[in-house]
Chains A and B, each alone.
Chain A
């Protein structure tokens, strides 16, 4: 009887939930071309209005791309400039504090550097938006769209006037344009970083160059300079400085010693007895480094083999002698071991080199032997998410090696993954079946019996129904009519709060996990794509090149889902404010588009040919929305505009 009250007692107060779990499903839009205009999000009167970028027909895009190319060299006539800018300026307005639409045209706007840069980044976006379209254009017949060109231009103009009315954010576009020259040089999107992929020979060459440099400066043999560099973790200047000040100490610490006399060679020393194998004999060949610890060549070889092969050591193999810290140099090694071991040794050295250098990181993909060179420092990771792409096509974060996690910063990714590991499996069950002790917050499962609970841990006695103190219940406990009592109320609200935070987490987690799952499913689909493409070719008489759109669509799906997945982790840590709302709108829009594309993609092969234009359009739209979402997030991150609900 009492149990009937249970649901009512644990209603989570709506304000605590950022999204109710029963959000309306995202409906795929009807006409890819018209999506933007029809969606309520895109009411041009709203401050967050986004211009319908992707709807431009291919031929027009081509032309705009050409225009964009022209701007590379020479200034555009003013009208064209305006169109190019204002077409996208709203984006920036959206990403910043939205201004009320009634602000009016701002002709005398202060020319702040911030707005200048935002306007110029807009310009950059424009160019990006224009370029991918050219590839599509080549697939379509230009003639079909020729008639549309003029109306498109009208459309752009119309947007321009809209933007004018949007206010001061865009009043200083002309100043923004003067910065364009700088911008054209760096064509990167705000969320991209500069990097270079290196193959093992290149890495080795890089090491060699530095070693030779130091060797020349300090007058040390190259193999010794190499040891010194590895000791100093390749920080050349610091090392040379340290060496100049305290040459002997530095050499000693690096495991080198000060004696550089003599050449490395094996010798037969009369009366020698090897301390390792206890072998002696006047014809026993032996070797000693400059420290003078002499062992027979056989033992030395075994020792090095053990270190290199079994222990994976290379940079810091010490002399086998008791408490001797001399490092075995590459010249000694070359003298003693087989070619196979030498190769392994060099591989290991390269590995340590990459590990030691802050600007290098191995591609984490299995069997990939490339390393990525990127200048992003650990301290930059609060402001940037450095996603890099290896030659093997694996995309990963340079900061933490986790697979591409745009737009979420590394620290949050780590926190999120940790949280998922801790919470997800059991959270559902706990949420459904347990409550917490009002005093010690231990999680308690009621496994039968009456409502008089005694916490096993803290011995607190309370009522399972109302969570109030049992002592206050007196004899009327059975009906649990003490709802208004303060102790019970406090306990319940505390409980509701903790449940609400769990609910909140689950909201984001479920969406995160869903995209991960869907990406996998889409990937399975991708594997079938090729088959699909083949059958499409035979069924509808399309050529190979004409069915490539499926491949493109599939890749876009993967990439967008990866991004969407992480937007949920990001949103989980985001404090609620205006830019968070804008972020969520952008997220919702991308999600909707992705789901729409995903749905089209699953259609039977016979329908795919008809859907081609739709799919193409949707793919382009998804990609663009992704770029917008990421650019916006990255810019805000760089400028420290986000506020989070956690310290990191």
Chain B
């Protein structure tokens, strides 16, 4: 991977500083995986209270392109999650602002993750990546959908595994 430009490095350092100064409510952690490479970050996302995802914790992997913030970061769930717009097997996220056309360089990693948390409470079953849960939602079987989500949220909850960057 190409080395990040000065502009990108500066911006990322600034984002890190901002996050430490005023942490994001929806996150347990956000930062580079190690100090060697500023283009690989990780995050731990919290479930929204009052939603079936309540109490959940998910680990996410963030790959940042060398021309960030002109191009969007690539974000994957590494903890399995049951959600219509997130692939259960690969953790891929289907969110428009993560696409090149809709990305704005003004978004930060922190604000992007907030958007992902919003996606959890506001699923779009009409363009699903996980067809099974999407079908439940689309058929209006809210009870079944909630119980499936709760089950996986509890079952797969991130348990602090891995070595989060200090």
Contact = CB atoms under 8 A, between A and B. Distances in A.
A277 B13 CA distance: 10
Interface string A296-326: 0011001100100011000000001111100
A320 B104 CA distance: 6
Interface residues of A, number: 17
A277 B68 CA distance: 10
Contacts of A299: 7, 105
B2 to A, nearest CB: 13
A278 B71 contact: no
Nearest to B100: A311
Interface string A319-335: 01111100000000000
Contacts of B7: 277, 298-299, 302
Contact of B70 (A303, A321, A323, A324): A303
A306 B104 contact: no
A276 B105 contact: yes
B106 interface: yes
B105 A320 contact: yes
A306 B69 CA distance: 11
A278 B67 CA distance: 15
A279 interface: yes
A140 interface: no
Interface in B65-108: 67, 69-71, 100-101, 104-107
B125 to A, nearest CB: 24
Contact of A278 (B14, B70, B104): B14
B106 A276 contact: yes
Contacts of A277: 7, 10-11
A277 B107 CA distance: 11
Nearest to B8: A277
A275 interface: yes
Given A276-B69, A306-B67, A320 B10 contact: no
Contact of A302 (B70, B101, B104, B106): B70
Candidate in B71, B105, B107 with the most chain A CB atoms within 10 angstroms: B105
Chain B at the A interface: SS class:
loop
A321 B69 CA distance: 12
A322 B70 contact: no
Contacts of A321: 104, 106
Given A303-B70, A306-B67, A322 B104 contact: yes
Interface string A252-293: 000000000000000000000001111100000000000000
Interface in B1-45: 7, 10-11, 14
Contacts of B104: 320-324
Nearest to A276: B105
Nearest to A278: B14
Contacts of A324: 104
A112 B10 CA distance: 83
Contacts of A310: 67, 71
A303 B100 CA distance: 12
Contacts of A302: 7, 67, 70
Contacts of A275: 105-106
Nearest to A279: B10
A302 B105 CA distance: 11
Candidate in A278, A299, A306 with the most chain B CB atoms within 10 angstroms: A278
A278 B11 contact: yes
A276 B71 contact: no
A117 B74 CA distance: 66
Interface in A546-602: none
Contacts of B71: 306, 310
Interface string B101-135: 10011110000000000000000000000000000
Contacts of B107: 322
A298 B105 CA distance: 13
Given A299-B105, A320-B104, A320-B105, A306 B70 contact: yes
5 contacts: A276-B69, A278-B10, A303-B70, A306-B70, A323-B104
Interface of B: 7, 10-11, 14, 67, 69-71, 100-101, 104-107
Given A276-B105, A302-B70, 11 more contacts: A277-B11, A278-B11, A279-B10, A299-B105, A303-B70, A303-B105, A310-B67, A310-B71, A311-B101, A320-B104, A320-B106
Q: 3 tightest A-B contacts by CB?
A: A278-B14, A306-B70, A322-B106
